Every structure is written in structure tokens, then in C-alpha cells.
Amino acid sequence: MNDHFKIYEHSRQRNVLDVRNLSVAFTGRKTKKTVLSDVSFSIRPGETVALVGESGSGKSVTALSLLRLIERSGGVISGATYFTDNDGQTVDILAQDEKELRAIRGNKISMIFQEPMTSLNPVLSVGFQITEAILAHRDVSAEEAKREAIDLLHKVEIPDPERRFGDYPQQFSGGMRQRVMIAMALACKPSLLIADEPTTALDVTTQARILDIIQRLKEEMNMAVLFITHDLGIV
């Protein structure tokens, strides 16, 4: 085990996520701008925590920082983000190397975004993209991955999932594409789902349906959720 991979044994009742003094700054040639300063919060197993704020308040930067997805954009992250997986082991995400991060992203921690077409590949079927996520992190056959992907489409209430497995993202409505993103995010049964404004671009009726799906699957999987929004009504 290398020096950067720190594991802490603990009770399963410990927080799924424990963020301590998280700060983020972006650097230019001569300037350094701090956009987050000493953010701390925690999430317990099966709990939903809402992160609420107006546009530009740093909600998405916080979410992206948890998985260290802003470093290539010049973001400098400090503090600690302790994550506990379903096996009861805790790691400080900020101390992991890239290989170790790949084992966490999309596997133990998943994320869905406001606009699913920024994440879905338009030239690949939705079924292929879900099975790809399963095969990337789990030791299962292609046939088993396909069965699980179809079952996930059924769980997120995609009509006729066997047929729609082979359809492409542009053949789905906005609400249906968001359901596909939820299915993909939950493909590896993560301990934590980060939902970054997943209903903002949808009409009120579709919003309610997506929220119901997330809540139901959270309870079925005993999964923690970090829900990011600007709308207190949704909270």
C-alpha cells in the first residue's frame, strides 16, 4: 500500500462522506482566486443532504471537488474528504492517486448532472453506455451486464426497456434521458450519489417523477445522496 492510500477502519455507522475544511482556488498567471473556503459537512448512510444556493455560489464546484474533477481546469483543492464505501473502509479522496480515483468514480461514488446530453454519447446506444459502466468496474460477463442494464432501465421507469436498450440518447425526451443517466449512475450500486441540479431543466411534472425515482432507489440501495439545487421547493 503506497503512502498516498490511507485507509481507516471504523464502524459501518460512520459517515459515508465527511468533508472537512474543503477549500478551492483557481490560479492564473499572476492571480489566485479562492472560490470555496473551509466548507465542512457530512452525510450518513441512507441520508439525503441538500446543498442549496444561488447560481455562482459554488455548489457545483463543491460537487466536482469531491471527486477531484476540477484539477485539470486549474483548480487547487485543500482540506480533506473522507469517504466510506459499502465494505466499511474509509479513504481520503484528496490523498488518492489517479488509478485509485478511477476505482471510486462511477463505481463507489456516482454523479448525475443537470443536462444529460453533456454526459451521454450520441453515437452509442444507451444500453451500451450503461453496460460499459458495469463492465468497467465489475467482473461480470457481457450477457449479465446487459441483463442488469435492462433491469436498471426498468427500475427508472423507461417503458419497454428491452427495446429501448438499443436506442440512442437523441431518441429520448429530456426527462427520459435523465432517467438513463440515473440508471448509469446506479449501475455499480454506489454508496453515494451526487445529483447536481438533476431536475432544473425539466417541467414540474417530470421533476416530481425524477425526484420520486431517486428517493425510491435511494431507499432500495441504502444509498446516501448529496442533492444540489437552487430551489427550496424541491428540497
Lowest mean pLDDT among 17-21, 26-30, 135-139: 26-30
More confident call, 87 vs 184? 184
From 85, 84, 46, 79, select the one nearest 62 (Cα to Cα): 79
Do residues 149 and 143 make contact, with C-beta atoms less than 8 angstroms apart? no
CATH class, 7-229 region = alpha beta
* pLDDT tens for each residue of 94-148: 999 999 999 999 999 999 988 888 889 999 999 999 999 999 999 999 999 999 9
% of the chain with per-residue pLDDT over 90? 68
pLDDT exceeds cutoff 70 at 5 = no
CA distance 72 to 87: 30
Alpha carbons within 13 A on the beta-carbon side of 204:
1
Query: Is this model's pTM higher than 0.75 or not?
Result: yes
Task: List the chain domain ranges.
Answer: 7-229
Write down the pLDDT at residue 176: 94
Burial class (CB within 10 angstroms; exposed 0-12, middle 13-18, buried 19+) of 69? middle
